[in-house]
Amino acid sequence: MMKEQIYIYDFDGTLTRRDSFPDFIRYARGGRSLFFGLLLFSPLLVLMKLRLYSNGRAKERLFSYFFQGMSIRVFDDLCAKYGLSRADLLLDAARKAVNEVASNGYRIFIVSASVDRWVLPFFRDVPNVTVIGTQIEVENGLVTGRFSTPNCYGAEKVRRIQALLPYREQYKLIAHGDSRGDKEMLNYADQGYFRPFR
């Protein structure tokens, strides 16, 4: 049986020039707010870099600091406008590759540790794209500051792919990543490419 060929891409650093998390905070809250927030959380971020504190937990605490209590309508509006205004965040070679794959009718999965709500608008005009990302918790129309899913990083990327594509033998997976957070995903794929657009 002919296997369906599916393309999988990490977002931050693979398709983009830099990490979208601090970039989105800067866009939504301003550079000054970002600076003081990063300064406040710098001890935690150092522990995270040393792998002494959970990547996902550190990210959630930072996210909560900037966005807890915000209306989800306001947040989603910021996400949509961010994708429109920051199209230059995507690497030219990456944009071209994704568009070419989409034009050939292949399914594409963007699998990112970033919040899915600000990643999706970058691909609003690209057909056959599904964004798998970290999801945020919303209660009574407000952002709680907590994540409703595990941080989509490392082995969690594979788990999320398996949830959507459970019949592994039916697919040929071609994955692209740029960091240790993509290692499991690249190993899981039939073909894995490390930093292909750099």
Q: What is the pLDDT of residues 68-117, one digit of tens each?
A: 999 999 999 999 999 999 999 999 999 999 999 999 999 999 999 999 99
Q: For domain 4-194, is the CATH number 3.40.50.1000? A: yes
Residues 6+ apart with CB under 8 A from 121: 79, 80, 82, 83, 84
- Percentage of the residues of the chain whose pLDDT score is greater than 90: 91
Give the mean pLDDT of 170-186: 97
Check: CB of residue 119 under 8 Å from CB of residue 110: yes
Q: What is the pLDDT of residue 12?
A: 98
What's residue 44's pLDDT?
A: 87
Phi, psi of 127 (to 5 degrees): -75, 160
185 touches 177 (CB < 8 A): yes
User: Could you give the 3-state DSSP secondary structure of residue 174?
Assistant: strand
**Cβ contact 157:173 at 8 Å:** no
Query: Per the structure block, which two tokens stand in for 18?
Result: 């830099």
Q: By the 8 A CB rule, do 198 and 190 touch? A: no
Residues in the chain, overall count: 198
Give pLDDT tens digits for 125-176.
999 999 999 999 999 999 999 999 999 999 999 999 999 999 999 999 999 9
What phi and psi values does residue 181 have, to the nearest 5 degrees? Answer: -70, -10
**Alpha-carbon span 3 to 197, nearest angstrom:** 26
Provide the mean pLDDT of the chain: 96
23-50, pLDDT tens digit by residue?
999 999 999 999 999 999 998 889 888 8
Written as one string, the DSSP assignment of 89-147 is GB-HHHHHHHHHHHHTT-EEEEEEEEEHHHHGGGGTTSTTEEEEEE-EEEETTEEEEEE
Q: Which of 49, 53, 75 minimizes the C-alpha distance to 64?
A: 75
Determine the Cα–Cα distance for residues 54 and 75; give it in Å rounded to an integer.
Answer: 25
Q: Is the pLDDT of residue 1 over 80?
A: no
